[in-house]
């Protein structure tokens, strides 16, 4: 707490009349891109498994929270203590199985209790739909997952992953039909339905679609960079290659990064099998 208070005091000094001009110019609105950027840098550090980097990035993210709290304090709306009190009270209230007499047999029951308690809190009393409260600004994949989890709570869900897998195939066919018809409006809608179905399949398989896509983009980028390096080493301009030749470069890069497992040893004479 001592270091947290020191951070709050530093932020107040930066925002003072004789503080930093840039810091003094900021508002809740102007800081939004930095809050999002720092969040993604935390995720990147987690993916990299780098503790030192994760510690640094969490500090950068915490700075954004303290920054917003300082602006709130200056406007006499709330301060850092209010922010800490709010989340502490929320944790106490939503964990009655830890801080009270309630029971929770597993994590699913914990989540059910959490949602029930959340709906009864004053700030959430006006929610008419189970979908109320899903943040509009969430990345689309995360928002789709959130919506699907909400409706699943009332039983509107597939029994297993075979249902959404079939839906993916169905939606892909409808995308192809819309593309053949040249109907751009319908094509946009069908692409959206296809992506939603893919997210549903990932959810039913226990996969975070946002994280899976992030990893997929990272794999693609790593392979493509290796393609570029190989082409440069061979004195080849990639722009002048045919698609078939580019595919060969891609396959070679993929083989380097993901070598095939060795073939099993024969079990005939001379082997240990």
pLDDT of residue 137: 86
pLDDT in tens, 217-259: 999 999 999 999 999 999 999 999 999 999 999 999 988 887 6
Alpha helices per DSSP H over the chain: 2-14, 21-25, 32-48, 51-74, 80-94, 96-99, 107-120, 140-152, 162-181, 184-204, 209-233, 243-257
Residues 123-140: pLDDT tens digits? Answer: 887 888 989 989 988 899
Question: Any idea which fold 140-207 has?
Answer: Helix Hairpins (1.10.287)
Please tell me the predicted confidence (pLDDT) of residue 126.
80
pTM of the model: 0.70
Domain 2-94 classification at class level: mainly alpha
The string over 257-267, giving b where at least 16 C-beta atoms fall within 10 Å of a residue's C-beta and e elsewhere, is eeeeeeeeeee
Q: Is the fold of 2-94 the same as that of 140-207?
A: yes
Q: What is the pLDDT of residue 257?
A: 82
pLDDT at 270: 43
All structural domains of the chain with their residue ranges? 2-94, 140-207, 211-257
> Any idea what DSSP says for residue 183?
-
Q: Which residues of the chain have pLDDT under 70?
A: 259-273
What per-residue confidence (pLDDT) applies to 87?
A: 96
């Amino acid at each position: 707490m001592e270091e947290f208070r020191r951070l709050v005091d530093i932020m107040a000094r930066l925002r003072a009349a004789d503080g930093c001009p840039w810091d003094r110019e900021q508002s809740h609105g102007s800081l939004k891109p930095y809050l999002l950027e720092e969040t993604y840098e935390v995720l990147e550090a987690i993916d990299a498994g780098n503790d030192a980097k994760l510690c640094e990035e969490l500090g950068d993210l915490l700075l954004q929270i303290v920054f917003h709290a300082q602006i709130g304090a200056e406007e006499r709306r709330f301060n850092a203590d209010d922010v800490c009190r709010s989340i502490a009270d929320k944790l106490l209230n939503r964990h009655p199985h830890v801080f009270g007499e309630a029971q929770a047999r597993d994590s699913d029951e914990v989540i059910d209790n959490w949602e029930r308690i959340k709906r009864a809190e004053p700030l959430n009393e006006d929610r008419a739909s189970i979908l109320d409260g899903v943040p509009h600004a969430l990345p689309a994949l995360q928002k789709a997952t959130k919506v699907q989890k909400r409706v699943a709570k009332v039983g509107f869900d597939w029994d297993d992953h075979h249902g959404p897998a079939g839906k993916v195939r169905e939606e892909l066919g409808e995308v192809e039909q819309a593309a053949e018809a040249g109907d751009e409006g319908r094509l946009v809608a069908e692409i959206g339905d296809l992506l939603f179905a893919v997210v549903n399949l990932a959810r039913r398989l226990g996969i975070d679609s946002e994280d899976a896509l992030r990893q997929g983009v990272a794999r693609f980028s790593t392979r493509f960079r290796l393609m570029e390096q190989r082409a440069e080493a061979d004195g080849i301009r990639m722009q002048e290659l045919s698609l078939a030749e580019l595919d060969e470069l891609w396959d070679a890069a993929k083989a380097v990064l993901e070598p095939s497992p060795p073939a099993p040893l024969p079990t005939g004479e001379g082997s240990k099998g």
